[in-house]
Amino acid sequence: MADKPRVLMCPPDYFGVEYEINPWMSVARGVDHARAAAQWGALRDTLGELGAEVEQMAPVAGLPDLVFTANAGLVYRDVFIPSRFRFRARQGETAHFEAWARSRGFRVEPPPDGMSFEGAGDALFCGATLFAGYRFRSDVQSHQWVGERLGVEVLPMELVDPRYYHLDTCFCPIAPDAAIYYPGAFDEYGRAVIRARIPRLIEVRPEEAHGFSCNAVVVGRTVVLNRGAPRLAEDLRAMGFEARPLDFSEFIKSGGSAKCLTLRVDGEEAAAWRDPDSPP
Ligand code: ARG
């Protein structure tokens, strides 16, 4: 039997909107902390019910976005490429994510100085290929470096709408040959790449994409996502997946939802390399 799926999360003890680095964030609006804690707990419990082992990292005062563990870095087999955050406000997180990866036995291989790279927020495997978003956070050069370092094919795609500033806000691989995506977040070229390279696709409607429904966590054939996307849930069902809606309203105030709150440590369901028979 396969090992349990492993997911890294960080409790929202110090979560808040304390600066503004994406269009969703407003310091003036603030966050309901009790509600955020309840929403985070519901995600952790749901992933547990789905059979995942949820590992918790220690929260750190003064790092309100440390909850978004998708941005810790990129996992590939026993290699961990830690993020290099574009904005100073998040740069203090890196040391904590690197320490976590070392403590778990990963080989930590940081990108060269001067490159921005925001980990699994911007780099997602679908099959053997790494789909990589750039412009608002990660640089296109960082993706090229990651591809060479890991020896995998990388397809960089420009993100064109600042509301979809990380690739995982508008694109979610659900199996090695299947993904959901919001076409409006990409240019013509990016859309063509996705259509040419992924055989089974679900297009998310603008109003549902705006509710962060592409920012989903996949465990087996269950897709955990923000509530309020009935059409996407139907499309997923038709493809043999089950949508599991939860409420992420407090985290959306920071520009994140289900997927951003998690890092899949043993490889995403859609990553071909997690299959033990795939070549190293
Ligand atoms: N406030 C955080 C930021 O702007 C949200 C990060 C969301 N993470 C993600 N993987 N999309 O960086």
What is the reported pLDDT for 213? 98
CA distance 119 to 83: 5
Tell which atom from ligand 1 comes closest to the C-alpha of 25.
1
- Number of other residues whose CB lies within 10 A of the CB of residue 99: 14
Residue 26, C-beta contacts closer than 8 angstroms, at least 6 positions apart: 17, 20, 253
15-44: pLDDT as tens digits: 999 999 999 999 999 999 999 999 999 999
pTM listed for this prediction: 0.97
| Closest to 106 in 3D by CA, of 74, 146, 78 | 78
- Number of other residues whose CB lies within 10 A of the CB of residue 1: 3
Q: Is 73 in the pocket of ligand 1 (CB under 6 A)?
A: no
pLDDT band at 280 (very low <50, low <70, confident <90, very high): low
Contact 79, 89 (CB under 8 A): no
Distance in Å, CA 94 to ligand 1 centroid = 14
The domain ranges of the chain are: 6-273
pLDDT band at 223 (very low <50, low <70, confident <90, very high): very high
Q: What is the average per-residue pLDDT within 259-273? A: 97
Distance in Å, CA 73 to ligand 1 centroid = 13
pLDDT at residue 1 greater than cutoff 60: no
CA distance 102 to 257: 26
pLDDT band at 134 (very low <50, low <70, confident <90, very high): very high
pLDDT at residue 278 greater than cutoff 80: no
Count Cα atoms within 13 angstroms, Cβ side, for 192.
3
Phi, then psi, of 99 in degrees rounded to 5 = -65, -40
| Closest to 216 in 3D by CA, of 196, 197, 199, 236 | 236
Tell which atom from ligand 1 comes closest to the C-alpha of 165.
11
Cβ-in-10-Å burial (0-12, 13-18, 19+) of 233 comes to buried
pLDDT at residue 279 greater than cutoff 90: no
pLDDT at residue 157 greater than cutoff 80: yes
Flag the least confident range among 1-5, 204-208, 224-228.
Answer: 1-5
- Token pair 């961990």 is at which residue? 80
Q: Which residues are catalytic?
A: 166, 260
pLDDT at residue 277 greater than cutoff 90: no
- Which residue's CA lies nearest to atom 8 of ligand 1? 260
Percent of the chain with pLDDT over 90: 96
Percent of the chain with pLDDT over 70: 99
Q: Is 85 in the pocket of ligand 1 (CB under 6 A)?
A: no
The rounded mean pLDDT for the chain is 97
Q: Choose which residue among 68, 226, 261 to substitute to test ligand 1 binding: the one with the highest number of ligand atoms within 8 A of its C-beta.
A: 68
61-115: pLDDT as tens digits: 999 999 999 999 999 999 999 999 999 999 999 999 999 999 999 999 999 999 9
What is the reported pLDDT for 271? 98
Which CATH number, 3.75.10.10, 3.30.360.10, 3.30.1600.10, 3.90.1310.10, labels domain 6-273? 3.75.10.10
